[in-house]
Structures are given as C-alpha cells and as structure tokens.
C-alpha cells in the first residue's frame, strides 16, 4: 500500500465517480481503476460496489475512509512539525559543556541563541569529557564543547574551537603575587591545588612538567575550580587555571608560565555518523564566531604587556 492508493481512494469516495476522480487527480481512468483494484486486493475486500456506471462505497470502504483520512491528517501534521523543526520554530537543543564554561563566551552565545530562537528548549549540562562521550554515543546530548582532547572514542568527530593560555593563579599572600611570569623550573617548587589525579586538566599539567623532567608539587586536590580559587585567595597556595577565569576574580593575580607556555585547546564534539540537528549546527556556528581566532604562542607573548 502506498500513499497514492489512499489519495486515489479518498477522491473516489468523495466524488462517487471514477471518471470525475480521474480528472481531478490528472490520471487516466484505467490507471485509477487498476490502482483501486490493487488496494482492494491488498485489503482483501471490495471498497466500492459497482452498479452499472455508478458506484457506492461499501461498509468496509466507509471504515477505510475514516482511517485513511486520519492517517493523511497525521502525516500532514508530521510534515508540518518537521518543517517547523527545521526552521527552528520549536524543538530542543541538548548541550554538554566543560565545567568552567560560566566565565567563557558560551553563556553569551546561549542568550543570543535563545533570543533568536525562543521556541527551542535548551538543556545545558556541565560534564566531564568521559560523560560527554557517553552522552554523544547514547544520543542524550546533541553536541559537546570540551577543553581537553583527544576524545577516546572513534565514534566521535571534533572541530577546533579555541586555544587558551593557562596561568598560575595566586592570592595576595603568595610570594609571587604581582609577578609577571615564571619558568616551569621555578613553578616546580610552588605548592599547588590541582584537580584529582587522572583528570584531563591534571594530566595536561603533568605532561607539561614531565616535558621538562619535572613534577608539580601538589598539596591539595579538588574537583571544583571555584573551591580552588577561593582557597588560593585565602592562603599562600596557588593553582593553575585558564587566564580568563581570573578576569573578574578579586584578590587574585595571574602569573604567566613560560618555557614552555601552558595552553589547553577547546573543541566541539559530534557523533561521527548521527544526524546533526539544525539547532545544534547553528549553535556551533555561533560558538565559533564568539571565540577569537587562536593565536600562536609567539604571537601571544608579543601581545603581553610588560609589568
């Protein structure tokens, strides 16, 4: 059974004439008669009684008519809903984001997206990289924005989004407060608050130290960036975080890390083979526009103001 069978059947039921229905449907009468015979054979019962040159719909035909009309209405409604979804009239957007996204450009992107597409229901979840991967694979989120790569699953694809500098954050009680920069060798003697062992940010920092045959002096661990900064503000300890995290942090100062410069890279993660909803695609493009083009380490140093 195909949709044309239902359209042909309903038009004959409406006109009670194969001839008139054929004209309105712009098909030949033999073609129309053949299509209806196919439909009756598939259903297993006549839909029309042929009485001379006139026809009357049978009881089975009346039952079929009600269901066919309802089926086509549902189909039309479904097509309209899909069109509205594609035009972002309604629908949903499910995002997985890194835990410190609050002081990134992303909240502004979310606000702009909502203002442009108020019919889209947005869900934003702060997630670890592993949780993002699981969410993309299961389909519980549409896209993810992470600060640590690479993803471990071959089912995922990534698009570069940003590159940002990591700095040493110190409070007023720290000996390096107000200092412009320091080397990795000097940093190796600084008491640090870092993420727990195995966390992506911790691994990145440890790899950077290891490249200089050094180890960080970790005296405290926490999975909360806010808790780390609050503790740094009240003590002589320090932490390593994104420079932007200190933009509005009172009582804290950033010390640039040199030789080598410590950076992390952000990316948009997608499921490699799953359809990308239009809302997610548009949000991703808005996120790309919100981040300035990544600068090289050399360029970043040239733009630093001397202190």
Q: List pLDDT tens digits, range 211-260.
A: 889 999 999 999 888 899 999 999 999 999 988 888 777 889 999 998 77
Determine, yes or no, domain membership for 124: yes
pLDDT, position 248: 76
Of residues 51 and 161, the one with the higher pLDDT is 161
Domain that holds residue 217: 163-264
Is residue 129 situated within a structural domain?
yes
DSSP the chain: --HHHHHHHHHHHHHT-HHHHHHHHTS-HHHHHHHHHHHHHHHTS-SEEEETTEEEE-HHHHHHHHHHHHHHHHHHHHHHHHHHHHTTSSEEEEEEE-TTGGGSSHHHHHHHHHHH-TTEEEEEEE--HHHHHHHHHHTS-SEEEESS---S-TTEEEEEEEEEEEEEEEETTSTTTT--EEEHHHHTTSEEEEPPTT-HHHHHHHHHHHTTT---EEEEE-S-HHHHHHHHHTSS-EEEEEGGGGTT-TTEEEEEEESSPPEEEEEEEEESSS---HHHHHHHHHHHHHSPPPPPHHHHHHTPPP-
Residues 273 and 233 in one domain: no
Q: Give the pLDDT score at 298.
A: 40
pLDDT at 131: 92
On whether both 214 and 178 belong to a single domain, the answer is: yes
Judgement on whether residues 205 and 141 belong to the same structural domain of the protein: no
**Is 54 a residue whose pLDDT tops 50?**
yes
Indicate if 127 and 269 belong to the same structural domain.
Answer: yes
Q: Determine the pLDDT at residue 300.
A: 38
| Final residue belonging to a domain, choices 71, 86, 101 | 86
Cβ neighbours of residue 87 under 8 Å, at least 6 residues apart?
none
Can you give the pLDDT at residue 297?
37
Distance CA 10, CA 21 (A): 9
**Whole-angstrom Cα distance, residue 47 to residue 9?**
9
- Total number of domains constituting the chain: 3
Residues 169 and 233 in one domain: yes
129 and 48 in one domain? no
Question: Residue 258: what pLDDT?
Answer: 87
Task: Kindly state whether residues 209 and 260 are assigned to the same domain.
Answer: yes
Write down the pLDDT at residue 164. 87
The enclosing domain of 77 has a CATH number of 1.10.10.10
Q: Distance between CA 1 and CA 79 in Å, rounded?
A: 20
- The rounded mean pLDDT for the chain is 86
Reported pTM: 0.64
Single out the residue in 86, 114, 136 at which a domain terminates: 86
Q: What is the pLDDT of residue 81?
A: 64
190 and 258 fall within a common domain: yes
Q: What is the pLDDT of residue 86?
A: 65
Q: Residues 157, 277: one domain?
A: yes
Calculate what percentage of the chain has a pLDDT beyond 90: 46
Query: Residue 204 maps to which CATH number?
Result: 3.40.190.290
Do residues 118 and 79 share a domain? no
Work out the pLDDT band at 275, boundaries 50, 70, 90: confident
Residue 299 pLDDT > 60: no
Q: Note whether 273 and 139 are same-domain residues.
A: yes
Q: Are strands 263-271 and 143-146 parallel, antiparallel or unpaired?
A: antiparallel
- Tokens (6 digits) for 24: 């309105």
Backbone angles phi, psi at 91, to 5 degrees: 135, -165
The answer to whether residues 121 and 153 belong to one domain is: yes
Residues 240 and 168: beta-carbon distance below 8 Å: yes
Specify if 307 maps to a domain. no
Give me the residues paired with residue 169 across strands. Answer: 239, 254
Residues linked to residue 183 through DSSP beta bridges, in sequence order:
258
State the CATH number of the domain containing residue 291: 3.40.190.10
d(CA 234, CA 13): 83
């Amino acid at each position: 059974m195909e949709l044309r069978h239902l359209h042909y059947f309903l038009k004959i039921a409406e006109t009670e004439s194969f001839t008139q229905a054929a004209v309105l449907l712009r098909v030949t009468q033999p073609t129309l008669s053949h299509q209806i015979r196919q439909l009756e054979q598939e259903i297993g019962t006549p839909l029309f009684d042929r009485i001379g040159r006139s026809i009357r719909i049978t009881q089975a035909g009346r039952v079929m008519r009600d269901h066919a009309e309802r089926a086509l209405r549902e189909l039309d409604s479904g097509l309209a809903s899909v069109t509205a979804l594609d035009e972002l009239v309604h629908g949903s957007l499910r995002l997985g984001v890194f835990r410190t996204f609050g002081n990134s450009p992303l909240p502004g992107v979310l606000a702009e997206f909502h203002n442009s597409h108020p019919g889209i229901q947005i869900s934003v979840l702060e997630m670890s990289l592993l949780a993002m991967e699981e969410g993309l694979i299961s389909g519980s989120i549409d896209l993810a924005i992470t600060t640590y790569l690479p993803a471990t699953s071959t089912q995922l694809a990534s698009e570069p989004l940003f590159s940002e500098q990591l700095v040493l954050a110190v409070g007023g009680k720290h000996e390096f407060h107000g200092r412009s920069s320091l080397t990795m060798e000097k940093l190796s003697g600084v008491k640090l608050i870092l993420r727990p062992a195995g966390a992506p940010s911790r691994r990145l920092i440890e790899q950077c130290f290891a490249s200089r045959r050094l180890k960080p002096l970790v005296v405290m661990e926490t999975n909360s960036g806010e808790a780390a900064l609050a503790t740094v503000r009240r003590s002589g300890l320090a932490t390593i975080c994104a420079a932007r995290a200190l933009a509005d942090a009172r009582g804290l100062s950033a010390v640039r890390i040199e030789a080598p410069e410590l950076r992390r890279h952000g990316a948009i993660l997608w499921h490699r083979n799953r359809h990308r909803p239009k809302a997610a695609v548009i949000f991703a493009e808005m996120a790309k526009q919100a981040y300035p083009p990544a600068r090289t380490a050399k360029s970043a140093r040239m733009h630093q103001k001397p202190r």
